[in-house]
Amino acid sequence: MKPRVFAAFVAPSLLMMLIFIAAPLVSVFAQSFYVTQPVFERVEVETCTPSFPTAICTTETKSRPVLDEAGEVQTQTRYVGLESYRNMLQLDRVGEALSSGRIGQILNIDFWSALRFTLMFTLITLPIVIVAGLAIALAVNNAVKSLRGPVIFISLLPFIITPVIGVLSIRWLFIGDGILTAFLENMLARDIAMFAQGWTIELMMLFYRVWHVAPFAFVIFYAGLQTVNQDTLESAIVDGASRWQRLRFVVIPHLGPLITFVALIHLMDAYRAFEEIVGFSSQSHVISLQWLTYDLLQPDDAGNRAISRASASAMLTMIGVVILLIAPVRRAWREHKGFR
């Protein structure tokens, strides 16, 4: 392909990436070093109460925001350096907790609590999604041809459902006197409150993520199974290889690049978990890094938003994603170099 033709194809994508990805990232990174706050002034306010024969008046000093000519609150922006990152990480409290041996106190800090859940949520669901997707793909690939269509359709339903709707559906099954909660209560002969404890909520979140994402892995692996070299499989059968040996030494190595691809997509998606927190209303027990950023952007009672801290949280989240992706990206690069 000629360089001019290649540039014509690539230029629109590069332009969109610069506008909608690179520019916002640079803006968020810059905002994490600045704090914008309203300007206040101290004024004396006299308050009089009716009394006989004379009114009783008291004077007190109060703070009030300064308004501009348009009646809007004036703000000022100042450079704070790494202060927002220090406020998020609170390394001094972390050091005190480690030195005193009370490691559990670290989880009282919002960022570290969110990081703990996000890492647990991502790393536990990853192998389960891959194994479940591969198992479904193998089952469908070995099923009778007349049953493959309906099985594929049913398997894809969780992936087709809108994430928030899927989360709410799982929540309604367990909350209060939900169908599954009532079933468990009758079976165990005891009252069950699935939303009263953090670990039960986390368990339901893990179940939902696997239920929702496993069909995506299934589609990728099922497509890959159609390209497995049948001559190699037949040779393995002739040599006396068992079903497990054929899967381990023929099928899985063939699906290696696809497994890496699924892992990359899942790591990026699960590390930004947000729908689960909102759908399960788990903020009092469990929060994620993505939800923490969202919460910092919510206005307080005075209408102020912690934009600098939210930007720092977003940048720390992105750094975490990059760190998690190093291993699968290196593997993908080695496989690419090997194929070349």
- Please tell me the predicted confidence (pLDDT) of residue 339: 57
Residue 220 to residues 133, 190, 262, 290, 328, Cα–Cα distance (Å): 8, 42, 8, 27, 17
Of the candidates 260, 255, 264, which has an alpha carbon nearest to the alpha carbon of residue 223?
A: 255
Which tens digits make up the pLDDT trace of 166-217?
Answer: 888 888 888 877 788 888 888 888 777 777 778 888 888 999 999 999 999 9
Those residues whose C-beta lies under 8 Å from the C-beta of residue 138, and which sit 6 or more positions away, are: 221, 225, 247, 251
Strand pairing category for 75-79 and 34-38: antiparallel
Q: What is the mean pLDDT of the chain?
A: 85
**Single-letter amino acid, residue 334:** R
* Dihedral angle over CA of 103, 122, 166, 188, nearest 10: -50
Q: What is the mean pLDDT of residues 231-246?
A: 84
Residue 305 pLDDT class (50, 70, 90 cuts)? confident
Classify each residue of 186-220 as buried b or exposed e, where b means 16 or more C-beta atoms within 10 Å of its C-beta. eeeeeebebbeeeeebbebbbebbbbbbbbbbbbb
Which tens digits make up the pLDDT trace of 33-82?
Answer: 998 877 777 777 777 777 667 767 777 777 777 777 777 777 778 888 89
Evaluate whether 256 touches 335 at the Cβ level (below 8 Å). yes
Residue 85 pLDDT class (50, 70, 90 cuts)? very high
Q: Where are the domains of the chain?
A: 103-339
The answer for 189, left when phi > 0, alpha when psi is -120 to 50, beta otherwise, is left
Evaluate whether 234 touches 250 at the Cβ level (below 8 Å). no
d(CA 287, CA 111): 9
Architecture of the domain defined by 103-339: Orthogonal Bundle (1.10)
Evaluate whether 84 touches 32 at the Cβ level (below 8 Å). yes
- Please tell me the predicted confidence (pLDDT) of residue 51: 65
Residue 206 to residues 125, 127, 273, Cα–Cα distance (Å): 6, 12, 11
Name the 3-class secondary structure at 298.
Answer: coil
Which tens digits make up the pLDDT trace of 127-166?
Answer: 999 999 999 999 888 887 777 788 888 888 888 888 888 8
Q: Note if the bond before 53 is cis, omega within 30 degrees.
A: yes
Share of residues in the chain with pLDDT > 90 (%):
25
Average the pLDDT over each of 62-66, 135-139, 237-241, 323-327 and give the range with the smallest value: 62-66
Those residues whose C-beta lies under 8 Å from the C-beta of residue 275, and which sit 6 or more positions away, are: 163, 164, 167
Q: What is the mean pLDDT of residues 306-331?
A: 89
Tokens of 290: 């993505």
Q: What are phi and psi of 62, to 5 degrees?
A: -125, 160
Tokens of 5: 């033709």
Of the candidates 156, 282, 264, 172, which has an alpha carbon nearest to the alpha carbon of residue 218?
A: 156
Residue 125 pLDDT class (50, 70, 90 cuts)? very high
**Single-letter amino acid, residue 163:** P
Residue 230 pLDDT class (50, 70, 90 cuts)? confident
**Single-letter amino acid, residue 108:** N
H-type alpha helices, 44-193: 83-89, 91-100, 110-141, 145-160, 163-174, 179-188
Tokens of 153: 């359709």
